[in-house]
Amino acid sequence: MSDKLNLKNSMELFAEAQTLVPGGVAGIRRPYNFVPGEYPIFFEKGKGGRIIDVDGNEYIDYLCAYGPIIIGYREEEIDNAVIEQIKEKGICFSLTQKLQNELVYKLRELIPSCEMASIVKTGSDATTIAIRVARAYTGKKKIARCGYHGWHDWCVEVKGGIPEKLYEDVLEFHYNDLDQLEDILKNNQDDMAGIIITPVGHPLAEPVQMPKPGYLEGVRALADKYGCVLIFDEIRSGFRCAMGGAQALFGVTPDLTTIGKAMANGYAIAALVGKREYMKVLEKDVFLSSTFFPNSDAQVAALKTIEILQRDKMLDTIAAKGNNFAQQVEKVVADSGIPARFSGAPWMPFITFPRDEAGLYKKLRTEFYTQLIRRGVFLQPYHHGYICYRHTDEDLAYTVQAIKDSLGELKSIV
């Protein structure tokens, strides 16, 4: 049994924060999304694949800032490129800098669906403008959705403060179920504007799913059959599954694609990219503007991140590390005798516990992630993790042993 971490400073800062910020910290970073009392709430710094909290505890970090850290924290080559742009040219102007064009040329080179692009700041920006484009292009209202697509009115799961009229035309379907999707399209065929789907399935607190053979091809065919705009939400899978995203890996090209997270290794940027005929509605029919969308700091970071990923073939290394890690963890899970499941190989590792009527899975999940964080492995109980380039072989080997030891602590519960 590992000792409980000293989290005194985190707890004091959180108590203070609750008087300053609703909930103390924002959304998914709140303590109830981890194991309250066992996980830190404030970090001090990070480097490579590791982070240190405000109490000095060090962790191997597999949450990677919820996905943006594809290489590692504080990558000097990227940061120095941004610093140079800030010092020599500036980043925020009334008009646009030429870096916009350079970045879009690069996106066109890599992403199969990209003929044009609009640069934004967050994944929610990108998915929301994608929906607006689909509706404007088709002149229809209804959207079929599968996956988490952000916090905006049309898609957020928590409906407080949102009138029903703002999401009543958004219809949810389950990943890897073509029949359910076709039923939605057939029953609403006169008013279907688009389909938005994460090409890799990652439902909250559930195992990560890869597409069944023919599934994404089937979604593409249904979009064509019913005259819908097909949108791939690649905020998580872009610049991770392949340089061109999951669409390049699986060979299925959507009409529009949202990208973000790993594109700039932690700098705030996202984009809607797509085929010219759809994107052109943004010229006059659809409004898109923001003071900070054209800021060039993140554009510089994105160009440099993409350059490094390509130059050093980092995604090949990440996939190899992830597959080796997965093989070892799957064996550990199988040998443990604990009802647990590993999913998400090679990019998005996740250990979950199958639901049961008695609620044992909740106890197992809480104790497992308590034991894991006490051993200095930072993962989230309700959200898959990520493998980044700077996770060393030693980090991964240590983590396999920590998972084995943590599962061993559950035998008294089962």
DSSP for 158-222 reads: --TT--GGGTTTEEE--TT-HHHHHHHHHHTGGGEEEEEE-SSB--TTS--BPPPTTHHHHHHHH
Strand order in the sheet with 116-120: 116-120, 270-274, 256-259, 229-234, 192-197, 142-146, 170-172
Choose the final residue of a domain: 283, 311, 339: 311
Burial 203-221 (b: 16+ CB within 10 A, else e): eeebbbbbbeeebbebbbe
- Would you say 334 and 3 are in contact if contact means Cβ atoms under 8 Å apart? no
Is the same domain home to 22 and 119? no
- Would you say 232 and 255 are in contact if contact means Cβ atoms under 8 Å apart? no
What DSSP state is assigned to residue 309?
A: H
| Per-residue model confidence (pLDDT) at position 282 | 98
Which of 256, 219, 229 lies closest to 114, judged by CA? 256
Q: What is the pLDDT along the chain (414 residues), one digit of tens a residue?
A: 689 999 999 999 999 999 999 999 999 999 999 999 999 999 999 999 999 999 999 999 999 999 999 999 999 999 999 999 999 999 999 999 999 999 999 999 999 999 999 999 999 999 999 999 999 999 999 999 999 999 999 999 999 999 999 999 999 999 999 999 999 999 999 999 999 999 999 998 999 999 999 999 999 999 999 999 999 999 999 999 999 999 999 999 999 999 999 999 999 999 999 999 999 999 999 999 999 999 999 999 999 999 999 999 999 999 999 999 999 999 999 999 999 999 999 999 999 999 999 999 999 999 999 999 999 999 999 999 999 999 999 999 999 999 999 999 999 888
Is the same domain home to 345 and 307? no
The pair of structure tokens assigned to 29 is 């970073």
First to last CA, the chain: 16
Is the same domain home to 212 and 304? yes
Which of 320, 312, 206 lies closest to 265, judged by CA? 312
Q: Which residues are CB-neighbours of 255 under 8 A, at least 6 positions away?
A: 113, 223, 229, 230, 231, 274, 275, 278
pLDDT tens for residues 159-177? Answer: 999 999 999 999 999 999 9
Structural domains in the chain (count): 2
Is the same domain home to 59 and 108? no
pLDDT tens for residues 105-120? Answer: 999 999 999 999 999 9
Q: Which domain holds residue 45?
A: 8-73+314-412
Is the same domain home to 257 and 120? yes
Residue 284's CATH number = 3.40.640.10
Q: Distance between CA 99 and CA 303 in Å, rounded? A: 9
| Per-residue model confidence (pLDDT) at position 1 | 66
The pair of structure tokens assigned to 400 is 């396999």
Is the same domain home to 396 and 407? yes
